[in-house]
Amino acid sequence: MRLSKLGAGLLATTILGASAASAQDVTLTIESWRNDDLVLWQDVIIPAFEAQHPGINVEFTPSAPAEYNAVLNSKLDAGSAGDLITCRPFDASLALYENGHLADLSDLDAMGNFSPVAQSAWQTDDGSATFCVPMASVIHGFIYNAEAFRELGLEEPETVDDFFAVLDAIAEDGGYIPMAMGTADQWEAATMGYNNIGPNYWQGEEGRLGLIAGEQSLTDEQWVAPFRQLARWGDYLGRGFQAQTYPDSQNLFTLGRAAIYPAGSWEITGFNAQADFEMGAFPPPVPNDGDECYISDHTDIAIGLNAASPNAEAARSFLEWVGSEEFATIYANALPGFFSLSDFSVEMEDPLAQEFVSWREECQSTIRSTYQILSRGTPNLENETWNASAQVIRGAEAPEDAATRLQEGLASWYAPQQ
Amino acid sequence: MKPPRIRWHILVFLAPALLVYTTIMIFPLFNTLRLALFDEVDQARVFVGLDNFRTLFGDPRWSASFWNALGNNFWFFVIHMLVQNPIGILLAAILSHPRLRFAALYRTAIFVPTILSFVIVGFAWKLILSPIWGIAPEMMDSVGLGDFFQPWLGLEGTALTTLALISVWQFVGIPLMLIYAALLSIPEEILEAGECDGITGAAAFWKIKLPLILPSIGIISILTFVGNFNAFDLIYAAQGALAGPDFSTDILGTFMYRTFFGFQLQLGDPHMGSAIASAMFAIILIGVCIYLFGIQTRLRRYQF
């Protein structure tokens, strides 16, 4: 492995002199699912760290996103996992911590740079131990083709009525597919649909925590209303959206054939590279004019320490650095759309990323409703929500029926909802 | 009387295959069956007897998923039996016609999809049938059938049948080859004797060739059955582990995969997964037994 990093090695030697490759060197290996970011880690992030920490080499060894959890679990069980583990939010990482695979990082100095909400995705339920250093969140909203909007004389919609007026206007013109989304892969319907527009109805954290506490039910109006809106989306998606996959939707939008794309901010990098038109973004429209707005600002990625790592000390110094302002700035600018969770105010250059992050000032942040605690049992609420959202958009299930089904499934195993 | 000599060479020649087969097939099979009798409680594995099966068949949610997957699996199998095997036999009959030109070319062309990976087949057909970039909508448009195009893979009513037909396209080469070989092995004398009795053309096929290839058809049926009830790859490649839309393409393989390895926020449950795998094993075992004892023993074989 070390030979394959010849390029990085050469770079390091030019900076640090020939002594860098001495025998006391520690090599840290990072497990990750972000294989898209391989070049970024190798060319930007790791050299920046290694320049300040002679004697520590870092290797980024990602696996495919869909296989990451399974691969990581087998590696941890076999004792062959890397020193640093990229953490999925909530239960997947919590299970690793409870099984003794992740070390408690509560005593890390850098933890002071993160708010309790930012840490919540990588804490025990009682908040007593934090086991991963938060790296980034993703924000949901809608990205649109600004040139198409200008051509049709449209403005960013503020309310749900405006939103459908805009969609109607695009549909009437006929030059663009109003909105690019399909239901073949199902997850977009829940992630970019239900959990994108929903917080405006269930009022963000209030509704989410109410659901966890058992004070609210998925059949309450504020949880059914997002399904009612989704049921109207079907008319504005392209022909054959039932078989349209996630990459299909991305391509439809970046080729300029669709005007609006229900998005997560992680799309920004790809869209900047693919689309040759000007893009804008607007937050999920509020139900009534003047309502407070809520956005899904989802804690998505963090990094923790393999409890069995022989290089714990070096790994801790890497984690301290991940919690620093320098890392936050490098990461947020190298990957526009992945926003730092730290308390530092990070300057970003990408206009679209700036637009997304500006909503944090105007709106209240929340995370996806199904991620914390509620997807611990069988049936799994998150997976059921994919199915229900896709069904509602296809018109195969009424919003009320979908909500009832989800509630029954949740109540079947979650005591506070019984 | 001399005691019978131990024939060591038999043992020596059997040993490698037996060893390999035991370690990679028989041991995992029994270990899976064993795993189905356990559950994890407070991070410790405890013996629970048949509890997992009680959950699988007794809990309304689990059993609904199971019967849905089993029903879909039967439909998948029925399509193969009704479409793949008759077409395979028909093609074999045509190909074995002595005056057909380019027979080797057709044979190869039809067999090639069989050696393609499921991922390639799933992806290629997804693209062909894509309502956005696919060539299917335009091809249908060009012959005036454009209005009949539907996003078949995305509709609950048609997705499973579409996938079954894709699988038929991929595997029609297998029955073709087996039947073709059986047809070629029929001696000319028998057909000539039939001709003398006035049995020619189609009648020769129905009255002479078909009875002679029945054992091959039996083998193909059982291979199809086992293959279909173990199927997983194509559905996973084309529709993902959630087997959408609304589980209408969920078969036992994808159901087992989702349960065993987990999916998205659903953590894997090896014990319930093993219970489903055991149920699959039982279904296939019963099917094969019915064939072996109910059908194969009654098939009449002819020696030439």
pLDDT of A81-111, one tens digit each?
999 999 999 888 998 999 899 999 999 999 9
Residues A145 and A334 sit within 8 Å (Cβ to Cβ): no
Say whether residue A396 is in contact with chain B using an 8 A CB cutoff.
yes
Average per-residue pLDDT for chain B: 90
pLDDT of res. A24: 62
Q: Partners of B267 in the beta sheet?
A: B262
Facing A185 at nearest CB: one of B132, B240, B268: B240
**Of A55-69, A243-257, A303-317, B114-128, which range is least confident?**
A55-69
CB B108, CB B176: distance < 8 Å: no
Is the pLDDT score of A395 beyond 90?
A: yes
- Given a contact cutoff of 8 angstroms between Cβ atoms, the answer to whether A227 and A387 are in contact is no
Q: Tell me the residue type at A356.
A: F
Helix (H, G, I), strand (E, B) or coil at A334: helix
Predicted local confidence at residue A335, as pLDDT: 87
| pLDDT band, very low/low/confident/very high, at A17 (cuts 50, 70, 90) | very low
The pLDDT assigned to B231 comes to 93
Count Cβ neighbours within 10 Å for each residue of A274-303 and write b for 16 or more, e otherwise.
ebeeebbbbbbbbeeeeeebbbbbbbbbbb
Q: What residue ranges do the domains of chain B occupy?
A: 74-298
Residue-range domains of chain A with CATH: 3-136+299-349 (3.40.190.10), 139-297+365-417 (3.40.190.10)
Q: How far, in Å, CA of A231 to CA of A389, rounded?
A: 9
Residue A246 in contact with partner chain B when CB distance is under 8 A? no
Counts for chain A of helices (H) and strands (E), in that order: 20, 10
Closest C-alpha among A305, A310, A301, A314 to residue A52: A314
Higher-confidence position of A367 and B304: A367
In the predicted structure, residue A380 carries a pLDDT above the cut 70: yes
**Are the C-beta atoms of residues A378 and B267 closer than 8 Å to each other?**
no
Amino acid type, B266: Q
Q: What pLDDT digit, counting tens, does each position of A401-413 carry?
A: 999 999 999 999 9
Q: Does B302 have pLDDT greater than 80?
A: no
Question: Measured between beta carbons, which residues in chain A are less than 8 angstroms from residue B261?
Answer: 70
Whether residue B265 and residue A387 make contact (CB cut-off 8 A), yes or no, is: no
What pLDDT, on the 0 to 100 scale, is given for residue B304? Answer: 64
Q: If you ran DSSP here, which 8-state letter would residue B146 be given?
A: G
Q: Does pLDDT of A47 surpass 80?
A: yes
Return the exposure string of A38-62: e unless at least 16 CB atoms fall within 10 Å of the residue's CB, then b. eebbbebbbeebbeeeeebbbbbeb
Distance between A48 CA and the closest CA of chain B, angstroms? 33
Contact list, B254 vs chain A (CB under 8 Å): none
| Closest alpha carbon to B219 in B188, B258, B250, B178 | B178
* Cα separation, A229 vs A163, whole angstroms: 11
Write the burial class of residue B90 (CB in 10 Å: 0-12 exposed, 13-18 middle, 19+ buried).
middle
pLDDT at B161 > cutoff 80: yes
pLDDT tens digits for A223-265? Answer: 999 999 999 999 999 889 999 999 999 999 999 999 999 999 9
Is the pLDDT score of B51 beyond 60? yes
pLDDT at B82 over 90: yes
- How many residues are recorded in chain A? 418
Interface test with A, best of B39, B61, B132 (most A CBs within 10 A): B132
Confidence (pLDDT) at B99? 85
Q: Tell the residue number behind the tokens 């691969």, with chain if given.
A: A71
**Dihedral of alpha carbons B137, B138, B139, B140, sign:** positive
* C-alpha to C-alpha distances, B256 to A72, B42, B56, B62, nearest whole angstrom: 21, 23, 11, 12
Ordered alpha helix ranges (H), A1-137: 6-16, 38-40, 46-52, 68-78, 91-98, 116-119
Burial pattern A89-105, b for ≥16 Cβ within 10 A else e, equals bbbbbbbbbeeebbbeb
Rounded to the nearest 5°, which phi and psi values hold at B42?
Answer: 50, 50
The helix/strand/coil state of B6 is coil
Q: How far apart are CA A94 and CA A87, in angstroms?
A: 9
How many whole angstroms separate alpha carbon A152 and alpha carbon B222?
Answer: 61
CB spacing of A185 vs B265 below 8 angstroms: no
Neighbours of B204 (CB within 10 A): 16
pLDDT average, residue stretch A294-312: 93
**Cβ under 8 Å to A: B residues 121-150:** 126, 129-133, 137, 150
Sign of CA dihedral B119, B122, B125, B126: negative
Closest CA to A196 of A213, A218, A181, A214: A181
Considering only the beta carbons, identify the residue of A370, A383, A412 that sits closest to B242. A383
Query: What is residue B5's predicted lDDT score, i.e. its pLDDT?
Result: 82
CB-CB contact of A57 with A28 (8 Å) = yes
A396 closest CB neighbour out of B131, B156, B269:
B156
Would you place residue B174 in the very low, low, confident or very high pLDDT band (cuts 50, 70, 90)? very high
pLDDT tens digit sequence for A179-222: 999 999 999 999 999 999 999 999 999 999 999 999 999 999 99
Reported as a pLDDT band with limits 50, 70 and 90, residue A278 is very high
Burial category of B187 from C-beta neighbours within 10 Å (exposed 0-12, middle 13-18, buried 19 and up)? exposed
Q: Checking DSSP bridges between strand A364-366 and strand A294-305, what pairing results, if any?
A: parallel
Residues of A in Cβ contact (< 8 Å) with B155: 242-243
Interface of A with B in 73-132 (CB under 8 A): 90-92, 95, 98-99
- Best probe of the B interface among A186, A250, A405, by most B CBs < 10 A, is A186
pLDDT band, very low/low/confident/very high, at A15 (cuts 50, 70, 90):
very low
Give B297's DSSP letter.
Answer: G
The pLDDT tens digits of the residues spanning A328-376 come to 999 998 888 899 998 888 888 899 999 999 999 899 999 999 988 898 8
**Residue that has been written with the tokens 């990098």 in this structure:** A269
Closest approach of chain A CAs to the CA of B3, in angstroms? 51
One-letter-per-residue 3-state SS of A237-253: ECCCHHHCCHHHHHHHH
Separation CA A135–CA A328 (nearest Å): 8
Mutation site for A-interface testing, chosen from B264, B271, B272 by largest number of A Cβ within 10 Å: B264
For range B18-35, the mean pLDDT: 93
Looking at residue B87, its pLDDT comes to: 95
Nearest to A279 by CA among A300, A301, A263, A299: A263
B61 CB neighbours in chain A (<8 A) are 378-379, 409, 412
Chain A within 8 Å of B263 (Cβ-Cβ)? yes
The CA distance from B138 to B149, in Å, is 9
Class for the domain spanning B74-298: mainly alpha
Q: Provide the mean pLDDT of chain A.
A: 89
Please check the confidence at residue B254 and state whether its pLDDT lies above 90: yes
Give the span between the Cα atoms of A251 and B178, in whole angstroms. Answer: 44
CB pair distance less than 8 Å for B242 and A243: no
Q: What is the mean pLDDT of residues A48-57?
A: 92
Residue B146 has pLDDT above 50, yes or no: yes
**How high is the pLDDT of residue A378?**
83
What is the Cα–Cα distance from A127 to A175, expressed in whole angstroms?
52
Residues in chain B within 8 Å Cβ distance of A370: 265
Q: Which of B129, B245, B264 sits opposite A383 (nearest CB)?
A: B264
Q: What percent of chain A has pLDDT over 70?
A: 94
